[in-house]
Amino acid sequence: MRLNFGLFGYEFALNADCREKRIKYVAGYTNRCKDGKYCIFLDYDNSELSWIEAELNHLQHAFLLSDFYLFKSSENSYHAVCFDKVTMEDYVKILKNSSVDINYINVPLHFGKKVWSLRLTDKDDVPLQFIEVIKGVLAIKPQSSPHVKLINTLFKLSIKLENPDDLKDLILCRYRI
């Protein structure tokens, strides 16, 4: 709903959005590392796989990123994870050069705790599914060992990092969908 009105010589525009209350919870993991750096998380909704693959290749070359691990989260929706660790400033640049939903970029940045998360548990009885590795450049940035340990455990992968950090802890989360 949109409401426009004039008052005291000013024009006001108010927008309201109404949606069904979210009552189902899912578990996820965040991209913030204990040293203040961020892994690269990208959440693509309603996107073609070939388009995402091309975009990830572009981001890898533009920002000198190593491999992306691609997961199918639901029909035509995907999560892409790169274990390279970057500053928040660099992470936001990467996000803004991608075609992820603008709310995925802005909500944590402006209204949240400046952490981005990806779902780990099923949504509507559809589990996450590992799809493929998009090969990038040789890892020159530090990489998150705790994130790799989680992904290796959950998806029975054997990812080996080229430039692992010495951290152990991971920040998990629970949120409504």
Euclidean distance between CA atoms 147 and 34, whole angstroms: 11
Per-residue pLDDT tens listing for the chain (177 residues): 778 888 889 988 877 766 666 577 888 999 999 999 999 999 999 999 999 999 999 999 999 999 999 999 999 999 999 999 999 999 999 999 999 999 999 999 888 889 999 999 877 778 899 999 999 999 999 999 999 999 999 999 999 999 999 899 999 888 777
Euclidean distance between CA atoms 44 and 176, whole angstroms: 18
DSSP letter at 164? Answer: B
Residue 157 has a pLDDT of 97
What is the per-residue DSSP string for 43-101? EE-S--HHHHHHHHHHHHHHHT---EEEEEEETTEEEEEEEEEE-HHHHHHHHHTS-S-
pTM: 0.85
Euclidean distance between CA atoms 77 and 102, whole angstroms: 15
What is the per-residue DSSP string for 117-138? EEE-S-BTTB--EEEEEE--SP
CB 145 within 8 A of CB 84: no
Structure tokens at 63: 């920002």
Residue 22 has a pLDDT of 58
Domains of the chain: 20-176 (3.90.920)
